[in-house]
């Protein structure tokens, strides 16, 4: 390959690709070693490209459709996984926070005759700011579960096989 560059080299390559050869450019390409080499290389590459295109026809429509469906389902699974990971992160934040709060804010110490009452204990624990904290955690968890489940349901309804044509 010639190491010299010519300012008309790209014009010659474009002329080979398009088939439009101005007379001055054709004369220059015949007299310039760099441009004649660019012309020969461009012709060889175009020939190889045409050969490859004829050997490898268009992809099978069924395979292309299946690949598109597979990618769509994978995308929906990833979206659902995002919401379930968010739920896991919320759980890692809210559960320890609620346990810590409940241990530090006991209203009354337990007596010897204390009998647990689920309603009374939770009513005392979830008063004031803890109530808002717990409700917001429950609503965020509900949002994550709803969104993740919605994407999973969409993924389950995405067909893997084409429907029969009518």
Integer-rounded Cα Rg, in Å, for the chain is 36
Regarding whether 19 and 68 lie in a shared domain, the answer is: no
Regarding whether 27 and 70 lie in a shared domain, the answer is: no
Regarding whether 38 and 102 lie in a shared domain, the answer is: no
What distance in Å separates the CA atoms of residue 89 and residue 41, rounded to the nearest whole number? Answer: 59
Q: What is the mean pLDDT of residues 34-40?
A: 91
The per-residue pLDDT for 37 is 92
Q: What is the pLDDT of residues 57-97, one digit of tens each?
A: 777 888 888 888 889 888 888 888 888 888 888 888 877 87
Confidence class for position 166, pLDDT limits 50, 70, 90: very low
Regarding whether 91 and 110 lie in a shared domain, the answer is: yes
Regarding whether 138 and 98 lie in a shared domain, the answer is: yes
The per-residue pLDDT for 105 is 65
- Give, in order, the Cα–Cα distances in Å from 119 to each of 122, 125, 163: 6, 10, 54
Regarding whether 100 and 39 lie in a shared domain, the answer is: no
Regarding whether 144 and 81 lie in a shared domain, the answer is: yes
The per-residue pLDDT for 66 is 87
Regarding whether 126 and 90 lie in a shared domain, the answer is: yes
Burial of 144 (0-12, 13-18, 19+ CB in 10 A): buried
Regarding whether 72 and 150 lie in a shared domain, the answer is: yes
Decide: 76 and 160 in contact? Cβ < 8 Å. no
Q: What is the mean pLDDT of residues 147-153?
A: 81
Residue 165: inside a domain: no
Q: Name the residue with higher pLDDT: 22 or 141.
A: 22
Residue 163: inside a domain: no
Residue 166: inside a domain: no
Confidence class for position 154, pLDDT limits 50, 70, 90: confident
Of the residues 55, 70, 91, the one at which a domain ends: 55
What distance in Å separates the CA atoms of residue 65 and residue 71, rounded to the nearest whole number? Answer: 10
Decide: 84 and 143 in contact? Cβ < 8 Å. no
For the cut 90, the answer to whether the pLDDT of residue 110 exceeds it is no
Location of structure tokens 């939770």: 122
What average pLDDT does the structure give for the chain? 78
Regarding whether 15 and 50 lie in a shared domain, the answer is: yes
Regarding whether 47 and 102 lie in a shared domain, the answer is: no
Confidence class for position 146, pLDDT limits 50, 70, 90: confident
Residue 17 belongs to domain spanning:
9-55
**How many CB atoms are located within 10 Å of the residue 64 CB?**
11
Decide: 116 and 40 in contact? Cβ < 8 Å. no
Please state the domain count of the chain.
2
Regarding whether 93 and 136 lie in a shared domain, the answer is: yes
The per-residue pLDDT for 163 is 60
């Amino acid at each position: 390959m010639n190491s010299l560059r010519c300012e008309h080299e790209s014009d010659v390559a474009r002329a080979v690709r398009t088939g439009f050869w101005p007379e001055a450019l054709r004369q220059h390409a015949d007299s310039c070693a760099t441009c004649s080499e660019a012309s020969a290389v461009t012709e060889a590459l175009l020939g190889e490209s045409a050969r490859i295109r004829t050997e490898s026809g268009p992809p099978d429509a069924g395979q292309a459709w299946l690949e598109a469906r597979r990618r769509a389902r994978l995308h929906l699974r990833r979206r659902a996984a995002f919401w379930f990971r968010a739920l896991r992160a919320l759980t890692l934040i809210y559960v320890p926070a609620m346990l810590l709060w409940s241990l530090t804010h006991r209203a009354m110490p337990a007596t010897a005759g204390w009998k647990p009452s689920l309603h009374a204990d939770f009513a005392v624990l979830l008063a004031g700011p803890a109530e808002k904290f717990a409700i917001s955690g429950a609503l965020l968890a509900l949002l994550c579960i709803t969104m993740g489940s919605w994407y999973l349901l969409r993924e389950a309804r995405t067909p893997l096989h084409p429907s029969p044509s009518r």
